[in-house]
Chain A
């Protein structure tokens, strides 16, 4: 039932980037009709999860950014999909900048003029494939206390001659009890924040927040190591931060809270292509590498008031209001009347005086990994935080979400925000003498399940039809799938409106949408995809015929 968001709004806006799914070859072969953002995770379209996260945080100014070719599909889904229409008001906006195509880097997206004019305050940046059960208000509180500077929020440089707001990113551990093969990781180096007198409440995230000093995707790291055979660490890093923790198995959740000046930073630096790698990586380095802030133009962007007392930065050509003429750089040598601390109890930069602009830190919240669950009842595993960008992850996260108790089994408050109303949404469609393990299965609306079937630990999408004798174990079925009689499917992912003939035995398979798998197929670890789109067109035939050897352009479905 649509209703208005009734918690306080923080002054942030949210951007959700709905890109093509390049790691989902089976299911996003046609990214315009079936954009990745609409793939179902536990029967809800993928984009529902970041949207719900924003609403839980109280953010109402949400914009989805997608390429113009996919805009129609997403707009229709926003109007018709039952989960998306039950999100609270105000509805998210959809922006499709005309220069955005399937290959634009994420930082380039932020450089587009439509997006630059859209972002007017500090903002939250989310990917469309993030499943985050973590309390949004805790993350916002962490940003408000640790990163945001009162000087920026209150637009007053008089009371707090302090630094500009910093950013906050989220990283999570990929080496969980059930790791997924081939999941991307990032290599990050973190440094503990200076001890402060901030009281950490019991549930707060502060103990897990560190200062990010180095960030690089593991792939790039491997390339670097291949090239140079050893990992060189800059001495400046060790000089400023003697104790750096290097983490190799974490992954960037791509959930960032950025201050507004990052938009200027990206606009002025054309070399930045992706946010995760370039923007965050360079920002982290700018914190300790002398000369880098100037090269990146950060001194101009951050250079605000030319207060004579405390600032140690070179005053930039005044982008700041009110204050008097440029400060004299000669002040740097004198004993400071107070270092660049603001009135907060913690000093975010304890570095000695230098002529560099003080770059506000990029903080990293390292989501603690779930302990191996000894007894499921004793300690609930920590909140789920995963990116879902490969099919294996899709399966795993869907199954994980299927295990959450539904709303009718627990009270409304103890339930996770991802709990469904009922595990079996349409119990009338389920014939007797079927086995459905309710505690780890999710069956959507309008599903007919015939007799003598067995469904264990699976997720069944809407309008599916499971015929007699089928056995499904750890499967994910999207909308409208028809499973023939006596099939045995294990760890399979079946795309929309696909059909599995009778008697098939499939293990670890993926079936693209609209595909028909012949009866009595036995397959293991195979991807059933149509080769449409691989067909050669008439012109290409003609070219080949005139050019030389024949290529087979066999078309079939």
Chain B
């Protein structure tokens, strides 16, 4: 072609672009042919720019075809060997590219043949779809994937399956219930465990038996800090066994550790905390709380048992209406309840209250309290009016490694309330200057940085990973 010589710079972009895949092939020669024919007097630079633009367009189209093929995975792919009529080469390529992918991935709603194993890639595909509306800057915030049992690894124990599903559907929500259920399920796993020949429990148990359970639970719902702590302690205990410790001894040691752990740090902690906190409620108090927390509920009931005459003001989480159940149970105990369905009128509620009792999900190393979304508002409003804000938290929920000053560092996205316009976060962080005191099972820390006092105590204590 005569114009080729004059548009030499245009030829070089054209040549490499002749290389790419088949869908683009047919488009290529006509493009370079029409360019010189349709626009006679383009400068070389303009021609180069034009060729570059066309190349971009072709690349985008190829990507689109691939994406369409991937998206067409749930839809029927074109028939295989008995292909009726001639299929374009490009479509076949796309079908094959799409064909290999859906073989490994199934949507959660599709029927699952017994021959398909629980494969990892399927979960990745689902996750991308669910999180597609969330901007990338929030990609560090986890969201519960809530996988169905058909996608669980085949080594997952039945008890763990049940616990995972209950966590995935938010039937058990707060950190201590989840922790308790998890530990009991792990108890069952340990009881059912038999070391295969030639292995020892201390080397085989964690990577082959415990880890699949943990992965499954994490995929149902991201772990809470207490679960992480407990699992770390459990793994440390397993590692502490000698390689030739007899299996029965090791199993018994683990079961004993779990029992002791649950007794001390869950059951006993709950008892001590509610007892201590109940002592801080006096006659005529109106105690304000946010949402429904087990420890707070137990505190109120204990205080009533002690014969204190007080009232409770509940500010409820509008999405998670736990306060309604709390008011029912308090009313049955004979405690008068003021109920507010959301944060509206917060200042009025705070003014009416005499002190504030909040339940915490976790406490960070800098003393910040991690609690249900909305707690921070209550704490700030209360502190600004000079009322005393007390947080209740078990020490197993203390995290000595993480620090948080805002609610966006460690949080969780509500899996039912997210769209491209916005999403709801499940937790928030209250800085330590807004919390007057933290009550744990060790002692109540009061003073300027109460949480720090507890953390100091935990640090001074014998490091719990060494028994």
Task: Check if A and B associate.
Answer: yes
| A interface residues (Cβ-Cβ under 8 A, vs B) | 3, 5-12, 52, 55-56, 58, 87-88, 133, 135-138, 140-141, 144-145, 148, 150, 153-156, 158-160, 196-201, 203-204, 206, 335-339, 341, 343-347, 405, 408-417
Min distance, Cβ B329 to any Cβ of chain A, angstroms: 6
Residue from A9, A56, A343, A412 in contact with B294 in the complex, judged by beta carbons closer than 8 Å: A343
The answer on a CB contact under 8 Å between A409 and B76 is yes
Evaluate contact between B165 and A411: CB separation under 8 angstroms.
no
User: In the complex, what's the smallest C-beta–C-beta distance from B111 to chain A, in angstroms?
Assistant: 4
In the complex with contacts A10-B158, A56-B111, A335-B333 CB distance below 8 A: yes
Q: How far is the CA of A343 from the CA of B155 in the complex (A)?
A: 27
B117→A414 contact, CB < 8 A: no
B184 adjacent to A11 (CB under 8 Å): no
Query: 9 nearest interchain CB pairs?
Result: A11-B158, A6-B117, A410-B76, A137-B150, A8-B152, A154-B184, A55-B114, A8-B156, A343-B177
In the complex, which of the residues B74, B171, B181, B333 contacts A414, with contact meaning CB atoms closer than 8 Å?
B74
Partner of A8, one of B161, B163, B321, B322: B161
Chain B residues, Cβ within 8 Å of A11:
158-159, 161-162
Quote the shortest CB–CB distance from B413 to chain A (angstroms): 12
> Which of A145, A156, A413 has the largest number of chain B CB atoms within 10 A?
A413
Say whether, besides A410-B76, A411-B99, A153 and B148 are in contact (CB < 8 Å): no
Q: How far is the CA of A199 from the CA of B108 in the complex (A)?
A: 16
Known: A56-B114, A144-B162, A338-B301. 15 other contacts (CB 8 A): A6-B117, A56-B150, A87-B114, A135-B109, A150-B184, A160-B181, A197-B173, A335-B333, A338-B329, A408-B80, A409-B76, A410-B76, A411-B77, A411-B102, A417-B113
Nearest-Cβ distance from residue B421 to partner chain A, whole angstroms: 19
Instruction: Check if A145 sits within 8 Å of B165, measured CB to CB.
Output: yes
What chain A residues lie within 8 Å of B109 (beta carbons)? 135, 203
A414 neighbours in B (Cβ, 8 Å): 74-76, 110
B320 touches A197 (CB 8 A): yes
A380 to chain B, nearest CB (A): 11
> In the complex, which residues of chain B have a beta carbon less than 8 angstroms from the beta carbon of A153?
158-159, 162-163
A145–B169 touching, CB < 8 Å: yes
Residues of B within 8 A of A204 (CB): 169
CB contacts (< 8 Å) of B400 on chain A: these are none
Main secondary structure of the interface of A (DSSP, over half): loop
**Chain B positions within 8 Å of A137 at CB level:** 112, 148-150
| Residues on the B chain within 8 Å of A346, using CB | 171
Residues in A with CB closer than 8 Å to B116 are: 6-7
Residue of B nearest to A12 (CB): B158
Question: How far in angstroms is the closest Cβ of chain A from B257?
Answer: 16
Q: From B80, which residue of chain A is reached at the shortest CB distance?
A: A408
Which of A8, A335, A409 is close to B153, meaning CB atoms less than 8 Å apart?
A: A8
A335 and B415 contacting across the interface, CB-CB below 8 Å: no
Q: Mark B272-285, 1 if CB is under 8 A from A, else 0.
A: 00000000000000
What is the CB-to-nearest-CB distance from A129 to chain B, in angstroms, rounded to a whole number? 20
List 23 A–B pairs whose Cβ atoms lie within 8 Å, in order of A's numbering: A3-B115, A7-B154, A8-B152, A8-B158, A11-B159, A56-B114, A133-B111, A135-B112, A135-B148, A138-B148, A144-B166, A145-B169, A154-B185, A156-B184, A159-B262, A198-B170, A201-B415, A335-B334, A338-B297, A338-B329, A343-B294, A413-B73, A413-B107
Contact across chains for B325 and A413 when beta carbons are under 8 A apart: no
Q: How far is the CB of B106 from chain A (nearest CB, A)?
A: 5
A9 — which chain B residues lie within 8 A by C-beta?
Answer: 154, 158
A201 in contact with B113 (CB, 8 Å): no
Query: In chain B between 156 and 189, which residues have their CB closer than 8 angstroms to a CB of chain A?
Result: 156, 158-159, 161-163, 165-166, 169-174, 177, 180-181, 184-185, 187-188
Are B169 and A199 within 8 A (Cβ)? yes
Cβ contacts B289-326/A at 8 Å (1 or 0 each): 00000100100010001000000000000001110010
- Bound: A338/B302 CA distance, A: 11
Q: Given A8-B156, A145-B165, A343-B294: A412 and B103 within 8 A (CB)? A: yes
Min distance, Cβ A452 to any Cβ of chain B, angstroms? 24
- Contact indicator A10/B161 (Cβ below 8 Å): yes
Given contacts A6-B116, A137-B148, A414-B74, A339 and B332 within 8 Å (CB-CB) = yes
Q: How many A-B residue pairs have CB under 8 A?
A: 197
In the complex formed, the residue of A with least CB distance to B98 is A411
Q: Which of B105, B159, B171 contacts A154 (CB 8 A)?
A: B159
Tell which of B154, B158, B159, B181 has the most Cβ of chain A within 10 Å: B158
Taken together as a complex, chains A and B put the C-alpha atoms of A154 and B164 apart, in Å, by: 13
Asked if B171 and A145 sit within 8 Å, CB to CB, the answer is yes
With CB as the reference atom, state the residue of chain A lying closest to B185: A154
Q: Are B416 and A199 in contact (CB under 8 A)?
A: yes
- Smallest Cβ distance from A175 to chain B, in angstroms? 25
Are B171 and A198 in contact, with the CB atoms below 8 A? yes
Q: Which residues of chain B are near A413, meaning CB under 8 Å? A: 73-74, 102-103, 105-107, 110
Residues of B within 8 A of A (CB): 73-77, 79-82, 99, 102-103, 105-118, 146, 148-156, 158-159, 161-163, 165-166, 169-174, 177, 180-181, 184-185, 187-188, 216, 262, 266-267, 294, 297, 301, 305, 320-322, 325, 329, 332-334, 415-416
In the complex, A346 Cα to B110 Cα: how many Å?
29
Contact B76 A405 (CB under 8 A): yes
Given A7-B152, A141-B148, A150 contacting B181 (CB threshold 8 A)? yes
Complex Cα–Cα for A228 and B54 (A)? 84
In the bound complex, CA of A410 to CA of B76 (Å): 4
Smallest CB separation, A378 vs chain B (Å): 13
Q: How far is the CB of A101 from chain B (nearest CB, A)?
A: 33
B117 x A150 contact (CB < 8 A): no
Bound-state Cα–Cα, A145 to B166, Å = 5
CA distance A140 to B149 in the complex (A): 8
Name the residue of chain B whose CB is nearest to the CB of A1.
B115
Distance (whole angstroms) from the CB of A151 to the closest CB of chain B: 10
Residue from A56, A159, A198, A415 within 8 A of B181 (CB atoms): A159
If A8-B155, A199-B416 touch, whether A339 touches B149 (CB-CB below 8 Å) is no
In the assembly, what is the distance between CA of A101 and CA of B370, in Å?
A: 64
**Cα distance, A3 to B113, chains bound together (Å):** 12
Complex: how many Å from CA A261 to CA B106? 37
B308 to chain A, nearest CB (A): 14
Known contacts A144-B161, A145-B171, A408-B80, A52 near B114 by CB under 8 Å: yes
* A54 and B366 alpha carbons, distance in the complex (Å): 52
Tell me the minimal C-beta distance from A119 to chain B in angstroms: 16
Question: With A and B bound together, what is the CA distance between A335 and B161 in angstroms?
Answer: 36
Q: Which residues of A contact B165 (CB under 8 A)?
A: 141, 144-145
- What residue in chain A is nearest B150 (Cβ atoms)? A137
Q: What is the chain A residue whose CB lies nearest that of B305?
A: A337
Cα separation A259 to B148 with both chains bound (whole Å): 21
B111 proximity list for chain A (CB < 8 A): 56, 133, 135, 415-417
Enumerate chain B residues within 8 angstroms of A335, measured Cβ to Cβ. Answer: 332-334
Known: A199-B415, A339-B329, A411-B77. A7 touches B150 (CB 8 A): yes
In-complex Cβ contact of B163 among A150, A408, A416 (8 A):
A150
Contacts of A136 in B (CB 8 A): 150
A58 touching B149 by the CB < 8 A rule? yes
Bound state CA distance, A141 and B162, in angstroms?
Answer: 8
Q: Give the one of B115, B154, B321 with max A CB within 10 A.
A: B115
CA distance in complex: A160, B262 (Å)? 13
Q: Is the CB of A408 within 8 A of B82?
A: yes
Q: With CB as the reference atom, state the residue of chain A lying closest to B122.
A: A413
Question: Separation in Å of the A139 CB from the closest CB of chain B?
Answer: 10
Complex alpha-carbon distance, A204 and B447, angstroms? 49
Q: Which residue of A lies closest to B415 (CB)?
A: A199
Alpha-carbon separation in the docked complex, A134 to B99 (Å):
25
Which residues of B lie under 8 Å from residue A58 when comparing CB positions?
A: 149-150
Bound-state Cα–Cα, A141 to B177, Å? 19
Tell me if A158 and B172 are in contact (CB < 8 A): no
| Contact status A412-B76, CB under 8 Å | no
Contact check, A203 vs B117: say whether CB atoms are below 8 A apart. no
Q: How far is the CA of A164 from the CA of B17 in the complex (A)?
A: 69
Give which listed residue, A55, A201, A345, contacts B173 with CB less than 8 A. Answer: A345
Given the complex of chains A and B, what is the CA–CA distance between A257 and B172 in angstroms?
22
